[in-house]
Structure 1
């Protein structure tokens, strides 16, 4: 892994590994790398410029387990993989990345800006989401006291737990509504690597019935990587 970090540190902040050569228009794996020592502005590149390269070029560096991320991506999705901060998830392939204040990564629909996914994390000494307390109580307090603004009415529709590779994930569907506007979303929370991770993916309430299944794939795909 040290060799991987060393290589990635010499590259721009993000690059995408496609299923075939450099002319591929549908990258299936976006990897976040360190930009330490690289001045992208001086080199005429945007901060999040993506470079398309073949998976074969990295086969000797990345383990088969990591390359499998690209092979498992569902149709019409891409995989964002952050080896530095230790997480991965899928997002719709026609979305684009953008800066969301206070978040580590984010992608949004090209035409509906409120339809987006974002991931953030904070340090924690807890080792598992169960250390936060009972699932129903934790999620209720999170939605009511953290996600909802004073003028919004929160509604929680679903709470689920899944376990993968010894880590537990809580995913829930909720709505925040005012008399004029509503937004519905899925959120997934998990703890690992000494971090409390949160993924939120949602849309305008009027579009929710059309995109719910698509966004559920995003919420269910979130996975912590050991770092």
Structure 2
């Protein structure tokens, strides 16, 4: 969709064969691997712990949701981001975190998908579109992002709404940035996904300078608190 399988923040080809240096998300959720990652974020941005965690989460949630929302929008194929099947690596250069999947990770598909006929163990066939969206929410949000949010909040003081706002904007940005090359990426797709995730109230799509839909957040990633403050596009904080 973007002309390459090498995107900052995602493992090349998305699948990780050599897991050396990678950490399963389960180790972040149980708190064991999280302090080191949060410390790296604080060092990267020279930020207070809560602001560093919010910025780390903004990057993480964007790259974690990207394969899911684009897979759904492009082909109704949803990679199931179960925490035990998702790997994270801290990078000194580029995005702070890179995300990949273990080869055993499964993908959910509709009965009409050619993959549904293969009998492969890594393919889960669902009944219909409604069940596909339900499974998308359960694997991405209920079992992965929400528990990780709670683990982060156990380390630093952050409102869950702030972090869920980044998830909502990540979904919208992921779809809209692919709109030029992906027929299934549309404002309607953003609405369908956010409704399924229960996150529609955290952003608003508004016309941009040329009339194109842009994301207006209703929560803040706290980038304005950095030593060199930054106001992101669509930030809910207004310059004085």
Quickly name the TM-score band, shorter chain normalised: under 0.3
Higher relative contact order (CA 8 A, sep 6+): 2
TM-score by length of 1: 0.26
TM-score by length of 2: 0.25
- Of Structure 1 and Structure 2, the greater strand share is in 1
